[in-house]
């Protein structure tokens, strides 16, 4: 039974990937400094999965912490989630982002090499495509960064592309992950006012925030608001399982989009969330947000061809699962 180390495994996508890997029969170790994850996430994962959760508390910027993880566990593969991911924050703190996202990756790769493990799945992002009219976007689209965050994702991909053939690398370019686990016991749990659309709407639905600002309704889209490729976080987690299986079974490296291929506008999401929570979501049209593009949707066929990956959950599923999580509809039947 292969054992997988998840750096940042207590985070939003990491914790959902943890459960998907356990369901798929893997052993899993969470490596996290809990800078962006609640301390009780492992306990909740244990409630859901039933088995003891293995955690190594540490920082990807600390090589000693990483070496300790490889000394304590025979690691067969790594999923590297641990990174900073707020586009706006990266503009204010570019050096922090390069230090953590690029320096952290280099540390992980060095610890892997020393630990005799050369399989890595890398958490990348559709942001590597920049602002493009080519929609839906194929993986061979040129990469260009529009923020320091995007730069760090392109740099990470390019570092991984330099590795020799005895490495097996899965690069997964996420579109817009949203939603929560079917148990409603884990989900997106932002510390302060969310930058992203769905967690913001969720706080309007719970009454924590008064109304949503819709950043622009004058884009060249069906209803004038921004269109994105939202993907359920459980589908996204399944993409990681399939990527690891391919690396372990064939050693074949790959770079794929993880999206549905379907675009939804901001107002589509507002309506879907209103249906999920049974109440209209209050909103007002506001000026465009700097850096936003009109449309961002994935060409999903390469992930299907190379990994057998297909997103199955709908926007309604995403909103229902998010609402169940934020409204505390904890389901002990899993
Ligand atoms: C979605 C749509 C906004 C908030 C970002 C990062 C990307 C990735 C996912 C890390 C857009 C609109 C949003 C609000 C709004 N993160 N919106 N009011 O910008 O597509 O992607 O998160 O990998 O790298 O760039 O996601 O959820 O912020 O925005 O109208 O309060 O919702 O204009 O059209 P985005 P988002």
Residue with tokens 């490296």: 253
Atom of ligand 1 nearest to the CA of 199: 27
pLDDT of res. 291: 84
Catalytic, out of 149, 174, 200, 230: 149
pLDDT of res. 332: 54
Atom of ligand 1 nearest to the CA of 153: 23
Instruction: Give catalytic status of residue 273 as yes or no.
Output: no
pLDDT of res. 331: 60
For the chain (length 334 residues), average pLDDT per consecutive 10?
A: 97 98 98 95 96 96 98 98 94 97 98 98 97 96 96 98 95 98 95 94 97 97 98 98 98 98 98 98 96 94 98 98 92 52
Question: 129 C-alpha vs ligand 1 centroid, how far in Å?
Answer: 15
Q: Using a 6 Å cutoff on CB, does residue 196 contact ligand 1?
A: yes
| Cβ atoms of 80 and 13 closer than 8 Å | no
Alpha carbon dihedral 116, 254, 89, 286, in 10-degree steps, equals -160
Q: Best of 83, 87, 216, 260 to mutate for ligand 1, by most ligand atoms within 8 A of CB?
A: 87
3 secondary structure, DSSP code: E
Q: Taking Cα atoms as reference points, which of 88, 132, 128 lies closest to residue 295?
A: 132
Atom of ligand 1 nearest to the CA of 178: 27
| Cβ atoms of 283 and 270 closer than 8 Å | yes
pLDDT of res. 334: 46
Q: Using a 6 Å cutoff on CB, does residue 125 contact ligand 1?
A: yes
Rounded to whole angstroms, the Cα distance separating 17 from 72 reads: 21
| Cβ atoms of 184 and 325 closer than 8 Å | yes
Q: Using a 6 Å cutoff on CB, does residue 28 contact ligand 1?
A: no
Q: Using a 6 Å cutoff on CB, does residue 62 contact ligand 1?
A: no
pLDDT of res. 96: 98
Question: 195 C-alpha vs ligand 1 centroid, how far in Å?
Answer: 7
């Amino acid at each position: 039974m292969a054992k997988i180390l998840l750096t940042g495994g207590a985070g939003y996508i990491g914790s959902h990937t943890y459960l998907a890997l356990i369901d798929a029969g893997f052993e899993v170790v969470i490596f996290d400094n809990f800078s962006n994850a609640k301390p009780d996430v492992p306990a909740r994962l244990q409630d859901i999965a039933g088995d003891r959760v293995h955690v190594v508390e540490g920082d990807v910027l600390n090589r000693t912490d990483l070496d300790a993880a490889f000394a304590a566990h025979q690691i067969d593969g790594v999923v590297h989630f641990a990174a900073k991911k707020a586009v706006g924050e990266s503009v204010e703190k570019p050096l922090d982002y390069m230090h953590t996202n690029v320096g952290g990756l280099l540390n992980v790769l060095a610890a892997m090499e020393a630990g005799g493990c050369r399989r890595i799945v890398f958490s990348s992002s559709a942001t590597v495509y920049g602002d493009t009219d080519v929609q839906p976007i194929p993986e061979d689209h040129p990469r260009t960064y529009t923020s320091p965050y995007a730069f760090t994702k392109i740099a990470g991909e390019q570092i991984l592309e330099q590795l020799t053939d005895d490495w097996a690398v899965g690069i997964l370019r996420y579109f817009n992950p949203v939603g929560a686990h079917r148990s409603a016991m884990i989900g997106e749990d932002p510390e302060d006012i969310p930058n992203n659309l769905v967690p913001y709407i969720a706080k309007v639905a719970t009454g924590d925030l008064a109304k949503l600002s819709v950043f622009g309704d004058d884009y060249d889209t069906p209803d004038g608001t921004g269109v994105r490729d939202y993907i359920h976080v459980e589908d996204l987690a399944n993409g990681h399982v399939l990527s690891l299986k391919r690396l372990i079974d064939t050693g074949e490296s790959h770079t794929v989009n993880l999206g549905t291929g379907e675009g939804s506008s901001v107002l589509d999401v507002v309506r879907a969330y209103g249906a999920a929570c049974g109440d209209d979501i209050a909103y007002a049209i506001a000026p465009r947000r700097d850096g936003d593009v009109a449309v961002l949707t994935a060409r999903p066929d390469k992930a299907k061809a190379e990994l057998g990956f297909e997103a199955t959950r709908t926007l309604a599923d995403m909103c229902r699962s998010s609402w169940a999580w934020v409204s505390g509809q904890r389901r002990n039947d899993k």
